[in-house]
Chains A and B, each alone.
Chain A
């Protein structure tokens, strides 16, 4: 978290990673330029494809997740496009959990259709349904390790086995877990995506995303992913899987994905995320400890119908959390207020310390009523599946003194 990807800068000796606020990079000569454009040598051309500060973050995230390489990009949503881009063709299909963050459901179910990419949503707790959905034409299964907002934990090992057996790629959004709580690749994930906006940066300062590749998927042998295994016309017909081996996905993500989709991460944002990562372990410990205390307190409150935190003894996900999230079940969870939609809104509006806004993973505690905000675009049925029904309030527990947080919620619930 502190060292990977960021040794002293060779020219100046600067110990903290410099912010390379820079657009383009000088070539030694025409032959060097040609080598770079042909992908024959390593180096920077133009910051849309790669930048030294962003590259330091990419290395650190790859190291933390146990991956081969990573590509950072403008946002978590951009990371999802970037992850699917090498795998999909017009008409391609993939399968996703029906409990995803609402914004992902909208992106996959509606916007991706404009690329002629098609997503089938399944209940990923029903392994038989997942197996049936993963037919030979499916490119990938997309899940969240720890789902937003419902405190749902995915059975990563079982889902990785099914996905692997079907020949598809397992993509895991691990934003709410962070690599400090869970490393999906240790359980068989091929690709991990993050919204770095959340706990990785940790201060609510940046929008950023990352795609990390395990390097383990054999694109050449599979034949299901022509973008990685067939000749690429824009690079003189080279085949990424043949030329770059286990670096194929990461190289493609920069040389084709970021080149043409253009959703690049700014160097300043990479710097802020690198800075955040230095304290990730300390922050996650405190986030998780605070969250457990608040969840336990809410469970005993008469106005609270239920609490979804996966580390609570009564949670149906407690065993999965113990297996996949042994250091804590994160700090984002939901609870149900007695009194439904109106009561939910009153609790949110009654807080003085919790901030009412649409984000998670901030040093500050956050509160939101998903049904009227982040999950507003979904149908009632989709909202229920995503754990965002009318009475649901979502919390993202921050780093404050936990007694202050409990006092704030107590006041807001009393007034609801």
Chain B
């Protein structure tokens, strides 16, 4: 890791409002794994989350009701966001595939999970016109920006005197 990563709340909120379908690369069928936690939460918030997991796909498994896919190429379009739930080393190859499939799948965002960072991948993706977020969890960010994270005593960093709207559905939320 080099410099710290900072993303504005407006950028993150914008992504989470715009995105409807997420391809989660590395989603686990084991309900005790963090990726499964995040997938379930995002589904509850109204996102369609399509798991990419070659081993699960080979066995014909579904994860939280969605058939697992072998690769990003197998995920039906449109895919608004690719969520990388793999190690930082694997992120480069996944990002390059997202860049290759960008037009076909209408991919807009490459999001690397908390603990995942690959600056080379980020530079290539940004050069290709994709929005990149690294070392963040969309579940935590969603909870942080719309108040749920604070229920557990965690500081959201959000200071606002505005009356919050109740948690928005993805793609049409207006909470500010």
Q: C-beta contact mask, B143-154 vs A, less than 8 Å → 1, else 0? A: 100011111111
User: Which residues on B sit within 8 Å (CB–CB) of A68?
Assistant: 154-155
Q: Is A4 an interface residue (CB 8 A)?
A: yes
Within B27-52, the residues touching A (CB, 8 Å) are 31-32, 34, 37, 40-41, 44
Q: Are B156 and A59 in contact (CB under 8 A)?
A: yes
Q: Is A37 an interface residue (CB 8 A)?
A: no
Q: How far is the CB of B163 from the nearest CB of chain A, in Å?
A: 4
Known: A69-B155, A70-B153. A3 touches B161 (CB 8 A): yes
Q: Is B8 an interface residue (CB 8 A)?
A: no
Q: How far is the CB of B168 from the nearest CB of chain A, in Å?
A: 12
Q: Is B166 an interface residue (CB 8 A)?
A: yes
Within A29-67, the residues touching B (CB, 8 Å) are 32, 35, 38-44, 50, 52, 54-56, 58-59, 62-63, 67
Q: How large is the interface on B (under 10, 10 to 19, 20 to 34, 35 or more residues)?
A: 20 to 34
Within A149-190, the residues touching B (CB, 8 Å) are none
Q: How many residues of A contact B (CB 8 A)?
A: 43
Within A68-114, the residues touching B (CB, 8 Å) are 68-72
A-B interface contact total, Cβ < 8 Å: 102
Q: Which of A13, A42, A62, A63: most chain B Cβ within 10 A? A: A42
Q: How far is the CA of A4 from the CA of B164 in the complex (A)?
A: 14
User: Which residues on B sit within 8 Å (CB–CB) of A245?
Assistant: 114-115, 137
Q: Is A375 an interface residue (CB 8 A)?
A: no
Q: Are B32 and A237 in contact (CB under 8 A)?
A: yes
Q: Which of B31, B34, B147, B158 contacts A10 (CB 8 A)?
A: B147
Q: Are A8 and B159 in contact (CB under 8 A)?
A: no
User: Which residues on B sit within 8 Å (CB–CB) of A262?
Assistant: none
User: Which residues on B sit within 8 Å (CB–CB) of A251?
Assistant: 152
Q: How far is the CA of A71 from the CA of B161 in the complex (A)?
A: 24
When C-beta atoms are compared, the residue in chain A nearest to B34 turns out to be A243
Q: Is A247 an interface residue (CB 8 A)?
A: yes
Q: Is B162 an interface residue (CB 8 A)?
A: yes
Tell me the A residues contacting B by CB distance below 8 Å: 3-5, 7-8, 10-11, 13, 32, 35, 38-44, 50, 52, 54-56, 58-59, 62-63, 67-72, 236-238, 242-243, 245, 247, 250-251, 253-254
**14 extra A-B contacts, CB within 8 A, seeds A7-B160, A59-B155, A68-B155:** A3-B160, A4-B159, A5-B156, A7-B161, A7-B162, A38-B37, A40-B37, A42-B151, A42-B152, A50-B153, A69-B153, A71-B153, A238-B32, A245-B115
